[in-house]
Amino acid sequence: MLLVLPIVSAVVRSYGAKARSLQKSLHLRAAAEELRSEIYCYRTCTGVYNLSNLSARNSALAEAMKRVNAAVANSVASEGGITSSVGMDINGNGYDANFRVSVDDDGISQLSPEEYIALRIVEERDVHRRKAATCQRILGAISIGNYVLGGVGTYLATMGRIQLYVSVTTAVSTAMISLGEEERLHDKLTAHTRALNEFKTLIAWWKSLSAIEKANPQNFAQLVEHAEGIMLVERKVDLGIGGGKDKGGGDGGGAGGGAPITLGKSLDLSALRQDIADNVEANTGSVVFGRGWIEKHAAFFDMFNKHMISSGKFRPRGPGARKPALVGAIQHAFLKSSVVSRKTPRTGADAMARWVGHVAAGGTLAQWAHGIIREKGRVDGGLRDGGFGGFGKGNDGNAREDDDAQRDGPSGYAGGAGKDGGVETSWNLEAYNTDDDSASEAEMVEGE
């Protein structure tokens, strides 16, 4: 037996090295997980799939699939044939005849943030929890086995006629240790534990956001980007095709990107000046406000907000003060129109522009809710496709509402004259509670 085992072991290892079955399996698994990640990005309309045109999104997904298939074709996975059973039962793992993945997911429809968290992040978190527990059990069994075999070897060494079997216990113990190293159990346990903690942090970050922040497509895009980045790093470690910090999600830092809590905290005036220079309109000199500027330059806007408050330009609404109905209606319309749903994602900019024009023409909220939109009012400036452009013709970057809207609106408010006669206003969208109208909400106050 002692002579046969080394021969059998050498034959098996030689065949494995020749067939390279393990390498083929790793490449195929990596390709499958990458395609799965691309599909979820497609279903959430984030990243390269943040396109309003469905045909363009489909083309982007087709290009991604082509890239992954080309990578598989150029790897060792392309060696050898495919068995006749592959592809015969394409719906073998499906939920029903319509290829639904589960009772809760049809596998193709667009996902909202809550659906993405439930179907992707929570599911992956549970997978990592199970894998971490499995690795821990195997490592524990190997450790206990080594201790037991060490004790048995010591006992056999004291016996006269069976000392030969001491080498057997030593060989088995060495084989168990080699198995653990070959499977990289310590690295996998570390990767699963780290991914599990980062998923928990990411979910906690999302839950900490207010309703209006969750409705921001930029925050949803950050959620998807960081979640997929965590999965990518863990996947590389798990499959043994590299690790480290290949995709950390920008300023999030850390393996897997971590949570986007610290994104944009550092002040970078050079980047801000460059963004402004790139978005200045040549004819008017006005700046088209970028959609991601609030998150990208959070430190600057925080400092600017504090300066405006300290100089009296922004004044918080006092306790018990009545909230202007017009402002609340605009915010409500923005919140409803900017929530990502199964329909095409929208920023709410067009809806807000239509709402201001509707109110300026004397329209009411009841008419708006029933789809009766008045369009006779004139709204200067308004909201451009790039994001907030401000209300009115303000040339100093402040938000203004047209005088006509001020006079004709059913719930007008007192305001001071701006540089060009417009009414200078400001508002705060940070604290919005859809369940409590008495909470701190968006507010316009008279400018100085």
Reduce the secondary structure of the chain to three states and give it as a string. Answer: CCCHHHHHHHHHHHHHHHHCHHHHHHHHHHHHHHHHHHHHHHHHCCHHHCCCCHHHHHHHHHHHHHHHHHHHHCCHHHCCCCCCCCCCCCCCCCCCCCCCCCCCCCCCCCCCHHHHHHHHHHHHHHHHHHHHHHHHHHHHHHHHHHHHHHHHHHHHHCCCCCHHHHHHHHHHHHHHHHHHHHCCHHHHHHHHHHHHHHHHHHHHHHHHCCHHHHCCHHHHHHHHHHHHHHHHHHHHHHHCCCCCCCCCCHHHCCHHHCCHHHCCCCCCHHHHHHHHHHCECCCCCCECCCCCHHHHCHHHHHHHHHHHHHCCCCCCCCCCCCCCHHHHHHHHHHHHHHCCCCCCCCCCHHHHHHHHHHHHCCCCHHHHHCCCCCCCCCCCCCCECCECCCCCCCCCCCEEECHHHHHHCCCCCCCCECCCCCEEECCCCCCCCCCCCCCCCCCCCCCC
Tell whether 100 is covered by a domain: no
Q: Which domain holds residue 442?
A: 321-448
Tell whether 85 is covered by a domain: no
Whether residue 227 is found in the same domain as residue 291: no
Contact 39, 91 (CB under 8 A): no
Whether residue 55 is found in the same domain as residue 162: no
Whether residue 357 is found in the same domain as residue 441: yes
Tell whether 101 is covered by a domain: no
Name the amino acid, one letter, at 192. H
Tell whether 95 is covered by a domain: no
Whether residue 133 is found in the same domain as residue 165: yes
Whether residue 69 is found in the same domain as residue 188: no
Q: Out of 250, 276, 311, pick the residue that ends a domain.
A: 311
Chain mean position to CA 218: 9
* pLDDT of res. 160: 67
* pLDDT of res. 344: 43
Name the amino acid, one letter, at 63. E
Whether residue 115 is found in the same domain as residue 253: yes
Whether residue 328 is found in the same domain as residue 439: yes
Whether residue 143 is found in the same domain as residue 243: yes
Chain mean position to CA 87: 32
Whether residue 372 is found in the same domain as residue 427: yes
Please state the pTM of the whole predicted model.
Answer: 0.50
Whether residue 441 is found in the same domain as residue 357: yes
Buried residues in 401-438 as b, exposed as e (16+ CB within 10 A)? bbbbbbebbeebbebeebeeebbbbbbbbeebeeeeee
Tell whether 378 is covered by a domain: yes
Tell whether 6 is covered by a domain: no
* pLDDT of res. 267: 63
Q: How many CA atoms lie within 13 A of 204 on its CB side?
A: 9
CA nearest neighbour of 222 among 303, 301, 299, 121: 121
Tokens, residue 187: 């690295």
Count of structural domains within the chain: 4
Tell whether 13 is covered by a domain: no
Instruction: Please give the average pLDDT of every successive group of 10 residues along the chain, which has 448 residues.
Output: 69 68 79 89 88 84 89 77 51 52 75 91 91 90 88 79 74 82 84 89 91 86 90 74 41 37 52 74 66 73 74 68 64 56 49 72 76 60 35 36 36 34 35 36 35
Whether residue 389 is found in the same domain as residue 289: no
Whether residue 326 is found in the same domain as residue 296: no
First to last CA, the chain: 95
Distance CA 390, CA 53 (A): 27
Q: Out of 245, 279, 311, pick the residue that ends a domain.
A: 311
Tell whether 62 is covered by a domain: yes
